[in-house]
Structure 1
Amino acid sequence: MDFANVWHSINWATVLFVVEFAVKVAAVGIVPEKRHPSTAQAWLLLILVIPIVGVPLYLMLGSPYVRGRRHAVQEQATIAFAEATDRWPLIPEGVEVEEHFAQVVQMNRSLTNLPASTGRCRGVYSEYGESFRAMTAAVERAEHTVHVEFYAQAWDDETDAFFSALVAAAERGVLVRVLADHLGSAKYGSLRTIRRRMTAAGAQFHTMLPISPLQGRFRRPDLRNHRKILTIDGREGFVGSQNLIGRHYGSRRNARVGREWVDVMMHVSGEVVDALDAIFATDWLSESGKVIDNVLERLEEYKVRPVGGEINAFQVVPSGPGYPGEPSMRMFTQLINNAMTSVRLVSPYFIPNEAFLEAMKSAVLRGVDVELLVPRKADQFAVHHAQQSYFRELLEAGIRIYRFPQPKVLHAKLMLVDDRYTYFGSSNMDIRSFMLNFEVSVLTFAGDAAELLGGVIDSYEEVSTVLTLEQWMERPLIGRYFDNVFRLTSALQ
């Protein structure tokens, strides 16, 4: 027997055992810091059971916060927002709200330093083509600036008129700035075309959160800038859930089977556009290193407008890794906690944290009517099953679940509370949107926006089916298994 080889093998086995043990002990003391208990438990489960997989993933994906220059830019911008809007009132003058709702507005302002303001709701678009036509017409009216910030962008048959309008605007001297999420847009194949044609026309183009290791630009690869913002001349804008891509998302198979995305966008004007431009300017500075003039000056000019009808009160609420206080999650949860009569939720990806889930269940116990509207089948396998893992708990709590029919993909994000207070925007109601994605949410109250968005929810429910607990308990065991498996992964943030 070769004792030297045996001893060598024993030594290596001992070293590996000691290293693995040390890593596990270290993880128990490091991972839980400043994390939700469920998130920490999920990471620890992965690290302790499969360390060879868990440790590299944690090192790559474990931190939900941005560092370095982006972090500094966000901090400076937040301070600048506070200084520019210091004299703005908590609630726009002439608007009356309950004290508990005013506290939500105050919380949002404390977390983001953006106050509530007024603005005109110039239209709500829930039909894909109608939204593009309205945005294209607005760009064609542009005289000075156009700011475009969308997660997914593709120059295709359905977006051709819009991008052509951008090119024409740039060629006639309008300052056109375009931001597109790098990974969110690159997978659709025309990002380089958009960049080339925009820059050739004189527009300025940058990718958001780019991964370019050869250029020294690398960050956590699953961070996304998921915002959807269009502003024109600082006077009017669009915000909501729709991306700059055709309704079939570049898939011939989707078109063949009738699989198309269903979204909602709002056309606004007034002071709310200043807040949207402030968010754009922050992202533009992060990606280009250039400052957009006059944005802060516009925020300083508080204007008093009578609220009612088309004039609404708005509060723009940005969120993402630059906001460790998780503004969107806190806003959603507090709105549900404050509900008196009804809560209506629409989300394509519904994976709540504990606080959000308990708020919904507690609302039912207080006698509040709570509805959740989700797609019959989400467009992502893991998300679909993770979302379904909550259905039994929700149904047993007395929450009514509507499922939007296939083959269409419900992609709108909406919340309507007591038929008065409304959220719309880019943020889903899941842990990823709360912590990892850069999102823009808009809270609106007073005026006609709540009625218009409530009508959109009504139209979704009219074509949806109600899921009962009895139906849900009859689903196959294999489906339950996948639901439970992917529920574990939902907290790995």
Structure 2
Amino acid sequence: MYSVLLSIHLLLFSWAFYNILYFGTKPSKSLSWMLITFLFPFLGVFAFILFGINRRKIKYFELKETKKRKKHLQEHLQNKNNKNVHTLKEKKASKISNLVFNNVNFPLQLNNDVVVLKNGKETFEALYKAIKNAKYFIHLQYYIIENGKIFNDIITLLEQKRKENVEVRILYDSFGSFNLKKKTKQKLKNIGVEIYPETPFKFGSFLFSLNYRNHRKIAVIDNEIGFTGGVNISDEYITKDTNLGIWQDTHVQISGTAVTNLHHTFLKDYYYATNIDLNLIEKYNKTYNTNGNTKLQIVSSGPDYEQPVVMQQYLSLINSAEKSICVLNPYFIPTYAILEAFKIAALSGVKVTLLLPKVTDSKIATYGMYSFFESLLKAGVTIYLRDDFSHSKVIFIDDEITSIGSTNFDCRSFEHNYELNALIFDKEITSEISNEFNERIKLATKVNLEDFLNRSIKQKTFERLARFLSPLL
């Protein structure tokens, strides 16, 4: 019996080894999968099928949902602009903007008003106000929607708007919103809200739902006002968590021409979830101008794109920086390319500052994050640790360009999740973000290299184990 099981294990491992060797994209990740599939019989190969197969390259394993997305995306892009309508005078900004456009075909948009929402309280107050003022439609999409005071308040507002014949549509991620109660969904349906899972757990799509999560946070009201960033629909932003306190996060409210592109992302995802193409209806594509002068570009990313868009966006920002790079992110588990880019920037004289949480909601993510500190500190990167938990996903360079969105600095966001960032080319907005960043630093603890090197063997061991698993997180 043992010899039979061993033979099956070696056969499965050989199959996995072949696929890792020929279709793997990163040596470190490939090595991790080789070891996992060899050291953990059957379970390791199952995990590889679930999380490791490169479906961009192995067409046989491309999931039907991904094929559907790619087909619709190609049709969608063919009907859009073939050039970046507005160009930027600054060479650095123009280069970054063109990269985004050539990847996602969303052009730079002028004449926007942008309000930075620095925490959950500000975000929900602004969202409530926008919902109350809605006249035609309310479209909401969140990775996490949880039962609680926040969602109850939103349901109350939506119920009133439905009485005024305002259309309401909600998308949620099945994995992130796993705890959303059935009776809550039924209540929404009863009042006329169209609510759908973006990645439903069902036969034939389980692998897709588990590994390819829609991590976006989007709200669009009447195409006049939009919201995006890192805030989910959860009471964690207003009520103290047992271990992490009240979560801190950053969101943006957008009015102006960029809202249409933000809305296009929602409409694409709505089509994927329902097979209903709202792109063909004029009122959902109407563009509203404002007197604002903020230049903004929507960055959409996911497995349906040919390139890892948000990773390339971050790399372009890091490589383009001339004076400073500041990062605020909860899950800093960089790929090799991102790690080296930060080190090169610091060694080249660019001031690189990372503001990260001391503890996250995942122990393995926390240890994984700490495992990168030594090499970064030695290269001259400055790291501060916050006592509170910041869920913000922000990077800004040279006090000129800011990215605020849903994207973490990890492999999952770069390669598996559907993400969305707002790329803002505005010195005033960046200055506002920078001032908030500096105020947070005053309350944080600076990581000293000498002290960090003296951490315990136990700590180092856990870090190395988490580092080994980091490409898979």
Provide TM-score, normalisation by structure 1. 0.88
C-alpha spacing 1:435/1:226, structure 2 compared with 1 (3 Å): same
SS at match of 1:149: strand
Aligned match of 1:56: 46
Structure 2 matches for 1:446-461, cutoff 5 A?
446=426, 448-461=428-441
- 2:426 is aligned with 1:438: no
1:447 positional shift: 5.6
Aligned match of 1:84: 80
Instruction: Give the letter aligned to residue 56 of structure 1.
Output: F
Structure 2 matches for 1:452-491, cutoff 5 A?
452-491=432-471
Structure 2 matches for 1:89-488, cutoff 5 A?
89-91=85-87, 95-98=88-91, 100-187=92-179, 190-213=180-203, 216-220=204-208, 221-247=210-236, 254-255=240-241, 259-294=245-280, 310-405=292-387, 408-446=388-426, 448-488=428-468
C-alpha spacing 1:378/1:69, structure 2 compared with 1 (3 Å): closer
8 Å contact 1:85–1:300 — kept in the other structure? Answer: no
In 2, the alpha carbon distance for the partners of 1:431 and 1:222 equals 12
8 Å contact 1:70–1:286 — kept in the other structure? Answer: no
In 2, the alpha carbon distance for the partners of 1:296 and 1:84 equals 15
8 Å contact 2:278–2:284 — kept in the other structure? Answer: no
Q: Which moved more, 1:217-226 or 1:434-443?
A: 217-226
In 2, the alpha carbon distance for the partners of 1:257 and 1:45 equals 34
- 2:4 is aligned with 1:40: no
1:21 positional shift: 3.0
- 2:467 is aligned with 1:492: no
8 Å contact 2:135–2:166 — kept in the other structure? Answer: yes
- 2:68 is aligned with 1:72: yes
Aligned match of 2:58: none
C-alpha spacing 1:79/1:455, structure 2 compared with 1 (3 Å): farther
1:68 positional shift: 1.4
SS at match of 1:357: helix
1:460 positional shift: 2.1
Residue-by-residue CA offset, 1:174-225 (whole Å, 9 max, x unaligned): 11110011121123xx432431222111110001211123xx5423323311
| Structure 1: 5+ residue stretches without partners | 1-11
SS at match of 1:489: helix
1:456 positional shift: 2.7
In 2, the alpha carbon distance for the partners of 1:314 and 1:121 equals 9
1:242 positional shift: 0.4
In 2, the alpha carbon distance for the partners of 1:363 and 1:471 equals 24
Instruction: Give the letter aligned to residue 451 of structure 2.
Output: Q
- 2:19 is aligned with 1:30: yes
C-alpha spacing 1:61/1:259, structure 2 compared with 1 (3 Å): same
Residue-by-residue CA offset, 1:288-327 (whole Å, 9 max, x unaligned): 1111145789769797x88xxx421111111122224110
In 1, the alpha carbon distance for the partners of 2:242 and 2:29 equals 40
Q: Which moved more, 1:313-322 or 1:414-423?
A: 313-322
C-alpha spacing 1:26/1:481, structure 2 compared with 1 (3 Å): same
| Structure 2: 5+ residue stretches without partners | 56-61
C-alpha spacing 1:485/1:87, structure 2 compared with 1 (3 Å): closer
Aligned match of 1:4: none
CA RMSD after TM alignment: 2.3
In 1, the alpha carbon distance for the partners of 2:440 and 2:253 equals 20
In 2, the alpha carbon distance for the partners of 1:295 and 1:354 equals 44
SS at match of 2:10: helix
Residue correspondences, number: 465
C-alpha spacing 1:273/1:25, structure 2 compared with 1 (3 Å): same
Residue-by-residue CA offset, 1:60-112 (whole Å, 9 max, x unaligned): 22235462144323432344235222365252xxx4222x4322211211211
Q: Which moved more, 1:124-133 or 1:269-278?
A: 124-133
In 2, the alpha carbon distance for the partners of 1:50 and 1:235 equals 53
In 1, the alpha carbon distance for the partners of 2:445 and 2:73 equals 45
In 2, the alpha carbon distance for the partners of 1:369 and 1:256 equals 35
- How many percent identity over aligned positions? 25
Instruction: Give the letter aligned to residue 281 of structure 1.
Output: L
In 2, the alpha carbon distance for the partners of 1:171 and 1:296 equals 23
8 Å contact 2:159–2:191 — kept in the other structure? Answer: yes
SS at match of 1:260: coil
Instruction: Give the letter aligned to residue 403 of structure 1.
Output: L
8 Å contact 1:121–1:449 — kept in the other structure? Answer: no
Instruction: Give the letter aligned to residue 96 of structure 1.
Output: K
In 2, the alpha carbon distance for the partners of 1:296 and 1:360 equals 44
